[in-house]
């Protein structure tokens, strides 16, 4: 009974946590900076902004896990893989898999992405998603397709702009009838715009605005500090609802591990971990 009451509070205070087809965040680096990451360029750009994939130079893979509010039923798991094809089109192909939930309710997403550099300052990215929402018992499942678009621009040597839109076509995940009235449930359409500024090799600051067409804007800000070569410290703050984040990363030659946590004022703590491995580039 206590868990049922807690799940009810989660639904009450977290407005989009059970939205079918939602674009769940991936990557503990991003999580430690309140997900103000639309300008970033790493393997998790396959979620945040596919244009960021264009700068990946070697085969890279990553895995991710999030424990939301201490409930296994709200866990998010993710996998990503990026393959540069510079010899063919000077672009990067990416594949991602995301799973949220448990046996009685779960969302899954399989994405196929492509990022390409356009000159020295601009990159673009697209992605096609296959989405499935499943309910326990006799309710079955619903499937749909959605798309994503992203742009990344280097405005100055140390200032970057990122723009991303998830599901611009407003695809629907299900349709049902109640008392001769037809109801349509659509996949969320989410737009993100952000800037990041690199003050030095040690400090990066990112700000971002995220807007779901059904909800008020979310404002996010994150900072990353690199005291030594292998260590990154991070913090962030977001609104609507207000929560703060923190985290750190340990980076070695080909291997990266990131941890992050956040605290919701009502629901408590969320923890995240992600691992990235980049295969060494072959000499030509």
Residue range 145-156, pLDDT digits in tens: 999 999 999 999
The total domain count for the chain is 1
Distance of alpha carbon 125 from alpha carbon 96, whole angstroms: 14
Match 């965040």 to its residue by tokens.
Answer: 25
- Asked if the structure places residue 199 within a domain, the reply is yes
Distance of alpha carbon 160 from alpha carbon 150, whole angstroms: 13
Q: Which helix (DSSP H) or strand (DSSP E) does residue 27 occupy?
A: none
- Asked if the structure places residue 168 within a domain, the reply is yes
Reduce the secondary structure of 29-40 to three states and give it as a string: HHHHCCCCCCCC
**Statement: residue 165 has pLDDT above 70:** yes
Among 138, 105, 135, 118, smallest CA distance to 55 is for 118
Question: Residue 65's domain is classified under what CATH number?
Answer: 2.40.160.60
Among 267, 220, 260, smallest CA distance to 239 is for 220
241 cis-preceded (ω within 30 degrees of 0): yes
Distance of alpha carbon 271 from alpha carbon 48, whole angstroms: 19
Model confidence band, residue 74 (pLDDT cutoffs 50, 70, 90): confident
Query: What's the distance, CA 284 to chain centroid?
Result: 34
Model confidence band, residue 23 (pLDDT cutoffs 50, 70, 90): confident
Least reliable range by pLDDT among 17-26, 66-75, 186-195, 247-256: 17-26
Residue range 51-60, pLDDT digits in tens: 999 999 999 9
- Asked if the structure places residue 195 within a domain, the reply is yes
- Asked if the structure places residue 49 within a domain, the reply is yes
pTM of the shown model? 0.86
Say what the pLDDT of residue 3 is. Answer: 47
Annotate 140-206 with DSSP letters as a single string: EEEEEEEEEEEEEEEEETTEEEEEEEE-TT--EEEEEEETTEEEEEEPP-EEEEEEEEE-SSSEEEE
Both tokens of 54, joined, read 């264009």
Residue range 115-135, pLDDT digits in tens: 999 988 999 999 999 999 888
- Asked if the structure places residue 17 within a domain, the reply is no
- Asked if the structure places residue 284 within a domain, the reply is no
Say what the pLDDT of residue 72 is. Answer: 82
- Asked if the structure places residue 260 within a domain, the reply is yes
Say what the pLDDT of residue 217 is. Answer: 95
Residue range 95-111, pLDDT digits in tens: 999 999 888 888 999 99
Q: Which domain holds residue 131?
A: 2-10+23-278
């Amino acid at each position: 009974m206590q868990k049922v009451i807690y799940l009810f509070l989660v639904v009450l205070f977290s407005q989009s946590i059970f939205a079918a087809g939602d674009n769940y965040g991936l990557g503990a680096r991003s999580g430690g900076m309140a997900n103000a990451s639309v300008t970033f360029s790493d393997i998790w750009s396959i979620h945040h902004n596919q244009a960021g994939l264009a700068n990946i130079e070697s085969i890279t893979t990553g895995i991710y896990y999030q424990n939301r509010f201490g409930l296994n039923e709200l866990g998010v798991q993710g996998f990503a893989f990026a393959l540069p094809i510079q010899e063919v089109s000077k672009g990067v192909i990416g594949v991602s898999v995301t799973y949220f939930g448990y046996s009685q309710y779960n969302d899954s997403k399989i994405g196929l992405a492509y990022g390409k550099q356009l000159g020295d300052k601009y990159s673009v990215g697209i992605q096609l998603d296959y989405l499935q929402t499943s309910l326990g018992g006799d309710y079955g499942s619903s499937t749909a397709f959605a798309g994503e678009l992203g742009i990344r621009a280097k405005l100055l040597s140390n200032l970057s702009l990122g723009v991303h839109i998830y599901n611009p076509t407003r695809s629907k995940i299900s349709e049902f009838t109640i008392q001769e009235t037809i109801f349509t449930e659509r996949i969320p359409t989410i737009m993100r715009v952000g800037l990041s500024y690199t003050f030095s090799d040690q400090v990066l600051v990112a700000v971002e605005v995220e807007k779901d067409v059904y909800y008020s804007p979310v404002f996010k800000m994150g900072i990353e500090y690199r005291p030594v070569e292998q260590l990154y410290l991070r913090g962030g703050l977001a609104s609507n609802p207000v929560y703060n984040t923190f985290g750190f990363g340990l980076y070695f030659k080909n291997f990266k591990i990131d941890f992050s946590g956040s605290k919701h004022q009502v629901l408590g703590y969320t923890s995240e971990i992600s691992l990235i491995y980049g295969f060494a580039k072959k000499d030509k």
